[in-house]
Structure 1
Amino acid sequence: MIKLVGRVGTSLLIAGSLALASCSKAPDPATTPRTEFSIGWSIYAGWMPWPYAQQAGIVKKWADKYGIKINVVQVNDYVESINQYTAGKFDGVTVTNMDALTIPAAGGKDTSAIIVGDYSNGNDGILLKGADNLAAIKGRQVYLVELSVSHYLLARGLETAGLKPTDVKTVNTSDADIVGAFSSPDASAAVAWNPQLSVMKGQAGAKEVFNSSQIPGEILDLMVVDTATLKANPNLGKALAGIWYETVALMQRQDAQGKEARAAMAKLAGTSPEEFDKQLSTTFLYAEPKAAVAAAASPALIKTMTLVRDFSFSKGLFKGAASADAVGMAFPGGKTLGNPQAVTFRFDDSFMTLAADGKL
């Protein structure tokens, strides 16, 4: 049985979280060293190493090395996990690049992406019935979770086909309802992510006409941590990097231990080992820290975040902002995007670099 849970929540929740972040200041994190931390996560193929690492004792191993305790906590609703992080309940959370920008960062919570874990390489797609090319989407109603990475994928797909957002009408549909909605004879277009996407592909007449592998590196999955907490407690960043790269190395193995680890992750995700491996095949994991460091330092990341922030601003996700530059972002090498005096989203490659150099 496939558990239909993903990275994306409803636009209502996104809007609510933005209002919360804008109207009420989250509690300031401790500015003195601490020994116990909480990290939130939700179900998605690229994030299953975190709960597995806790189950397998890898979290405890690295936390003990640095004299700290790390609680890895599941939240069933993805956007709620980000809301809780934004409100200060979690010190870090698993999140996409777009949602990290539009929820905590746009709300004023200074956030650092310390692990670039993967990018969607086909895990998100556009489906049509009765057509096999994206151009046929013109004039159709498109079912998706509005103001999410699915909406972003649609915008990028339309752009590649020479179409405008006004050429389609979007129908806001929750992640829990989209499979059923697309099964209706009246529904002929939808955007979804795995595992829902794989189920919807099996519906009569459905064809995938665009997917995230055609915009590689644009839908990123991250581990982010409150910047002030990280500054006061760098050992948290070191432990998290150690946990991540040890676990990902294990899950990449094709021996009995690697298969056992992936099967355990599949069980934690509520799916079968076969389905989980299928989802991993459309997830580009930065298994080697050197590759993740290179991705964070690449000019392509600034181009990606420019596309993401421009789309987000156009949809009103920078509440009250006069321009897309209102939310500042910082990148390795001292590069910035947007207002350098108002940086609230940072790509910090220092802990991935320590892992790459064998210095954790």
Structure 2
Amino acid sequence: MTKWGSKARIAIAAVAMLATASCGGSGSAPKARTEFNIGWSIYAGWMPWPYAEQAGIVKKWADKYGVKIHFTQVNDYVESVNQFNAGKLDGVTVTNMDALTIPAAGGKDTSAIILGDYSNGNDGIVLKNAKSLADIKGRTVYLVELSVSHYLLARGLSTVGLQLSDVKTVNTSDADIVGAFANPAATAVVTWNPQLTEVAKLPGATKVFDSSQVPAEILDLLAIDTATLKANPNLGKALAGIWYETIQLMQKKDAAGAAARAAMAKLAGATPQAFDAQLTTTHLYGTPQDAVAAVKSPAIGATMVKVRDFSFSKGLFGQGAKSADAIGISVPGKTIGDANNVKLRFDPTYMELAAAGKL
């Protein structure tokens, strides 16, 4: 694994737990508060958050809405999501799949209020001595099992008429996956950047499929505890203001934009060149209008059906779940699954305020 780490994005079967910590989680009545804690982990699409804190953008918007917001780095991605699930964090940077399979499946009512980006080549399948993905049949595939890598593998196989039963998988940690694939005996791997870039450099290696071929399916979000958000709408407003000011700055083609991206790179332990390379395979929703349009598109519901069906098939909803409909998912205009058990909500409210210039 390269120095600047990874977004581990491991989906695990969550157990129901009541959030009883000071974050006002779903196990306690909503409370109005003024101080909040958001967890983040290193990934190109999430680096605007810690940069905004460093640059004073967080304080600017927090002061405007009379709140204090702390951004806390958690070195292990899945641990950050588990801390959110346990009520130790008010919000967390998370993928759509993991938001569903960890807090939502654990009984925590969770709202995705910022749709930041989707993986547009940051996740991929690499084979040795192969011409196409079809050559994967019968091979042993190294990957982080039950993660978005596993989901990407299933999606990729479906495009060449294969199923997961046509390969064997070996669970391999993100820290070990480059070394594992360097073994001459290893001929297939699924991983994400920066490891994806490293394994693709190995002798005989060819990237045969990546997330750009299933666009807008691996989504990167900011999720907030729904009860906390309901009691503290100024938190959502401040976070939307922070995000879109920072995104606007980092996209500038001038010295200010370059400086912002370089600062993000440093926070991630990367060179500016490496960080910019990561951004080329990260489709940022560059304006709130773009993000709102994506959240309100029927495509997001179709994506979540694919994600929840895969997750249920792998037992990630827990033993009590009798069908893929067990967990309700709310998207604008409809509910997917059990309307009486909605635990994951795609809430465009705050992005809409930003789009309308009403923050």
Contact 1:218–1:304 (8 Å) recurs in 2:
yes
> Is the partner of 1:94 in helix, strand or coil?
strand
Does residue 18 of structure 2 align to residue 25 of structure 1? yes
Contact 2:30–2:231 (8 Å) recurs in 1:
yes
Amino acid at match of 1:2: T
| 1:158-217 Cα distance to aligned partner (Å, 9 max, x none) | 000100110000000000000000000010000010011011111111100000000000
User: Counterpart in 2 of 1:358?
Assistant: 357
User: Counterpart in 1 of 2:325?
Assistant: 325
Contact 2:120–2:212 (8 Å) recurs in 1:
yes
User: Counterpart in 2 of 1:184?
Assistant: 183
Considering only aligned residues, what root-mean-square deviation do their CA atoms show, in Å? 1.1
User: Counterpart in 2 of 1:251?
Assistant: 250
User: Counterpart in 2 of 1:3?
Assistant: 3
**CA shift at 1:5, angstroms?**
2.4
Contact 1:3–1:195 (8 Å) recurs in 2:
no
User: Counterpart in 2 of 1:229?
Assistant: 228
| 1:251-292 Cα distance to aligned partner (Å, 9 max, x none) | 000111100000010011111100100000000000110010
**CA shift at 1:245, angstroms?**
0.3
Amino acid at match of 1:51: P
Contact 1:9–1:174 (8 Å) recurs in 2:
no
User: Counterpart in 2 of 1:265?
Assistant: 264
State how far apart, in whole Å, the 1-side matches of 2:6 and 2:301 are: 26
| Structure with greater helix percent | 1
User: Counterpart in 1 of 2:24?
Assistant: none
Once the two structures are superposed, the pairs formed by residues 62-81 of structure 1 within 5 Å of their partners are 62-81=61-80
Once the two structures are superposed, the pairs formed by residues 1-360 of structure 1 within 5 Å of their partners are 2-3=2-3, 5-9=5-9, 14-15=12-13, 18-19=14-15, 22=16, 24-27=17-20, 28-29=27-28, 31-320=30-319, 321-333=321-333, 335-360=334-359
**CA shift at 1:108, angstroms?**
0.5
Amino acid at match of 2:324: A
Contact 2:250–2:257 (8 Å) recurs in 1:
yes
| 1:42-98 Cα distance to aligned partner (Å, 9 max, x none) | 000000000000000000000000000000000000000000000001000000000
**CA shift at 1:122, angstroms?**
0.2
State how far apart, in whole Å, the 1-side matches of 2:185 and 2:10 are: 22
Contact 2:10–2:98 (8 Å) recurs in 1:
no
**CA shift at 1:33, angstroms?**
1.1
Q: Percent of counterpart pairs with the same letter?
A: 70
Contact 2:62–2:68 (8 Å) recurs in 1:
yes
**CA shift at 1:31, angstroms?**
1.5
State how far apart, in whole Å, the 1-side matches of 2:35 and 2:77 are: 23
Contact 1:29–1:88 (8 Å) recurs in 2:
no
Amino acid at match of 2:8: V
Change (3 A) 1:4 1:61: closer
Change (3 A) 1:56 1:286: same
TM-score where L is the length of structure 2: 0.96
| 1:118-176 Cα distance to aligned partner (Å, 9 max, x none) | 00000000000001200000000000000000000000000001001100000000000
> Is the partner of 1:295 in helix, strand or coil?
helix
Q: Which runs of 5+ in 1 are unaligned?
A: none
State how far apart, in whole Å, the 2-side matches of 1:30 and 1:36 are: 17
State how far apart, in whole Å, the 1-side matches of 2:250 and 2:204 are: 35
State how far apart, in whole Å, the 1-side matches of 2:172 and 2:295 are: 33
Amino acid at match of 1:336: T
Amino acid at match of 1:272: T
State how far apart, in whole Å, the 2-side matches of 1:76 and 1:30 are: 30
Aligned residues: 352
State how far apart, in whole Å, the 1-side matches of 2:49 and 2:75 are: 15
Amino acid at match of 1:240: L
State how far apart, in whole Å, the 2-side matches of 1:220 and 1:187 are: 29
Amino acid at match of 2:152: L
**CA shift at 1:331, angstroms?**
1.1
**CA shift at 1:30, angstroms?**
5.5
Contact 2:4–2:270 (8 Å) recurs in 1:
no
Contact 1:144–1:150 (8 Å) recurs in 2:
yes
Amino acid at match of 2:344: F
**CA shift at 1:4, angstroms?**
5.3
Contact 1:29–1:229 (8 Å) recurs in 2:
no
State how far apart, in whole Å, the 2-side matches of 1:253 and 1:204 are: 37
